[in-house]
Amino acid sequence: MRHPSDRSPLLALAFAALAAFAAFGSSTAAAPVARQAAGAPPAAAKQRLTLEQTMGAGRVSFTATPPAVRFASDGVHLERQRDGKTIWVDPRTKAEREPAPADAAAAAATAAREQAVLAALAALPGFDEATAKRLSGNRRGTSADGKAQLFASESDLFFFREGAATALRLTDGPEVEENARLSADGRFASFVRANDLYLVETDGARERRVTRDGSEQRLNGKLDWVYQEEIYGRGNFQATWWSPSSRHLAFLSLDQSGVPHHPIVDHVPNRAELEDTRYPKAGDPNPTVALCVARARDGKVTRVDLSKYAKDEPLVVRVGWSKDGKQLICQVQDREQRWLELLSADPDSGKPTLLLREESESFVNVLEEPHWLADGSFLWHSEANGFRHVYRHAADGKRLGAVTSGEWEVRGVTAVDEAKQRLWFTASKDSAIGVNLYGVNFDGSGLIRLTDGRGSHAVEWNGDKSLFLDRVSSLATPPEVRLCDGESGQLLEVVARAEVKALAEYDYSMPELLQIPAADGFLMDATVVKPLPFDPAKKYPVWLPTYSGPDAPSVFDRWNGDAWTQFLAQQGYVVLQVNNRTSSQKGHRFLDDCWQQLGVSELADLEAALAWLGANHPWIDTTRVGITGWSYGGFMTAYALTHSKAFKLGVAGAGVYDWRLYDSIYTERYMRTPQNNPDGYARTSCIEAAKELSGYLVLAHGTLDDNVHVQNTVQLAGALQKAGIDRFEVMVYPRSRHGLGSVEQNNHYRRLTWKAIRERL
């Protein structure tokens, strides 16, 4: 929970915000171009958007990208394109030149290598130039020296080493090879076949089977559904990690025999087709995990000893290697993710050593992998004090000190200079909804902000870090690229600007940024897009798109090119977005409010935002408020309509309507297990509260959604029917998964939403 001592300063800030925004709403949004001068002829009327212009391939967009500019390969010049030619520009003198001969030679060498690869692939028996070209586009790995490459066809692997006249076929058979990876020295490739792990020597295609227990239940070197979705990243089933020395290959072995099956049915064919998925829901058995290491020279497998964690039903959430490759590094969490331990392990014995432990009264997020320094120490991200910061640790894990500190969050490290003992990073220090660049010494001294002005900044450094390119935009300013001094951050030149052509043709209501106090004074970042034209004497309905999930904000200070938002404003709707405290990315301290009660704190904050707007701005019609969202936002929409009287309409897509129906790892991080938190699951269920539905609810779902199952919508619809409620409708999208599967379906959903808004608000 948040510390009581935080409440007083937050309340003080809230009163300041009330005063600061007392005048909000007295004028229309500022245009992103210069205002018309007094006495000048009236500007030509701009067009209004049609619904069709907000969707499909021909939609209008207010998004634009600046002309391409980057640092050249020499790390000194700026590289840009002009009339189809590459031009190098000296960033200080502005002198232009052709790319350096060395660079041209390097480009020619690269092109020659690519041609050699194509020729070597085309020389394979049964291959032609077209087949070789397709295969060359399916690269599965490159050696550290860049001279060896691994390629995959639909079912086989191929290897090429620079200087060879022909490529080598490494596998040849009907079985599919998955998750192929090349060792750093290019001497070995690894892959998974029928859920077993294999090694193959690239000098003669000698194959070695590493595991022999692979099956539907046992996955070696391959992730199951829940591990890829919730830990290693959607679509990433890779579970192998080569050591930098190429001597060892770490891999996960997952036993999913205890994980329940979930059927997904495709009703489109005349004979319906069944897709069977192993899917652990909250409280179900998870796949059991083993972390193993295979020795490259003989395939011998060593299992890392994680036996002490057996009672905790452990999750292995990160795997990597020390800089020299002598130690395997992993992060282990308990099932409910209340703690995280960083371990090093000897790859030959499997004996682990504890480096550090993170724990929380609520939950611990998966953290960045260590950044290893030359002396064996490492930089580590931690949220132990309620905010994500960088710390330096000795090789044995002992904390040496904080590199960053304060009531703000580090977003990421952009550069490290060990010689200067200096770190550059992006953070929310001056804006939770923007991103700025900072520099600091390893001992925490010398902190300086290097990017100027509001907005979201992304940085590219030159070779010696004396200059950087700042790619920046804000809600008020379209994207541009700035050249800045690397030491002071001083702006030297704007080198590229985006031209938002639609601004000259169509009305655009500039999003207005404000902060709204929650009931306890917590300041929530929000944006309001006002109707065009705007009349403060009128009352306007409110449309509230939201996600509201943990650490997943809806409001960002960056250019918004969304034509749908502008269409709604032109049709007379106020478009409101709010970062409730748990989605605000202001710190783990505020995430605690959603622990064991997903939706409760979030809804209270959204209600407070609406009440504050209504109380301070008479043009807000709080009797006509609609809310919408997809996935977690779909849950929030249905939760709002079943647990609040503040909303007249909800359009909910693919939501989790009872957290007992969602996957174990995500849900239990925030809710614990149903066995340990039965009241929390009941309190947050839309299905159990269906009889309390207020307003009109539109439910949409893809029939093949393997993430949030359509079962959620079916059960909520059934509960509403059982309660005798007919103020809802359901739309299913055949063959769509968690996102809608076609342009036509996306267009249909847009029309469905607009119909509901028009009729209900």
Dump pLDDT digits (tens) for 517-546: 999 999 999 999 999 999 999 999 999 999
Closest CA to 450 of 416, 414, 487, 415: 487
- Whether residue 140 is predicted with pLDDT greater than 80 in this model: the reply is yes
Residue pLDDT, tens place only, 16-68? 333 333 333 333 333 343 333 334 445 567 899 999 999 988 899 999 999 99
d(CA 731, CA 749): 9
- Where along the chain do its domains lie? 100-209, 213-366, 510-760
Mean pLDDT, range 356-364, rounded to an integer: 96
Q: How confident is the model at residue 126 (pLDDT cuts 50, 70, 90)?
A: confident
Mean pLDDT, range 334-357, rounded to an integer: 98
Fold of 510-760: Rossmann fold (3.40.50)
pLDDT at 105: 66
pLDDT at 316: 98
SS3 annotation, 255-289: ECCCCCEEEEEECCCCCCEEEEEECCECCCCCCEE
- DSSP-based three-state secondary structure for 758: helix
Answer for the pair 458, 411: CB distance below 8 angstroms, yes or no.
Answer: no
Neighbour tally for 319: CB within 10 Å: 19
Q: What DSSP character marks residue 590?
A: H
| Alpha-carbon distance values, 536 to 25, 296, 371, 622 (Å) | 7, 72, 54, 15
Here the tokens at position 292 are: 């193993």
Residue pLDDT, tens place only, 651-662? 999 999 999 999
- Whether residue 162 is predicted with pLDDT greater than 70 in this model: the reply is yes
CA 45 to chain centre: 40
Q: How confident is the model at residue 705 (pLDDT cuts 50, 70, 90)?
A: very high
Angle at 138 between CA 134 and CA 175, to 5 degrees: 95
Mean pLDDT, range 468-490, rounded to an integer: 97
pLDDT at 274: 95
Torsion of CA 200, 203, 206, 207, to 10 degrees: 10
Residue pLDDT, tens place only, 717-749? 999 999 999 999 999 999 999 999 999 999 999
pLDDT at 65: 94
Percentage of the chain lying above the pLDDT 90 cut: 85
Statement: 213-366 belongs to CATH 3.40.640.10: no
Are β-strands 491-497 and 523-529 bridged in parallel, bridged antiparallel, or unpaired?
unpaired
Angle at 286 between CA 736 and CA 348, to 5 degrees: 115
What is the residue-averaged pLDDT of the chain? Answer: 92
Torsion of CA 583, 587, 590, 591, to 10 degrees: 60
d(CA 121, CA 134): 10
Here the tokens at position 382 are: 């931690």
Residue pLDDT, tens place only, 65-117? 999 999 999 999 999 998 889 999 999 999 998 887 666 666 676 677 788 88
Please give the order of strands across the beta sheet that includes 378-382: 371-372, 378-382, 389-393, 399-402
pLDDT at 9: 34
Answer for the pair 370, 342: CB distance below 8 angstroms, yes or no.
Answer: yes
Answer for the pair 667, 691: CB distance below 8 angstroms, yes or no.
Answer: no
Burial class (CB in 10 A: 0-12, 13-18, 19+), 119: middle
Please give the order of strands across the beta sheet that includes 491-497: 456-461, 467-473, 480-485, 491-497
Q: What is the pTM of this model?
A: 0.91
Here the tokens at position 95 are: 């002198």
- Whether residue 6 is predicted with pLDDT greater than 60 in this model: the reply is no
Residue pLDDT, tens place only, 238-295? 999 999 999 999 999 999 999 999 999 999 999 999 999 999 999 999 999 999 999 9
pLDDT at 216: 95
Q: How confident is the model at residue 163 (pLDDT cuts 50, 70, 90)?
A: confident
Answer for the pair 216, 205: CB distance below 8 angstroms, yes or no.
Answer: no
- Whether residue 12 is predicted with pLDDT greater than 70 in this model: the reply is no
Q: Which residue has the higher pLDDT, 665 or 104?
A: 665
Here the tokens at position 340 are: 């995280």
Mean pLDDT, range 414-424, rounded to an integer: 95
pLDDT at 204: 87
pLDDT at 98: 85
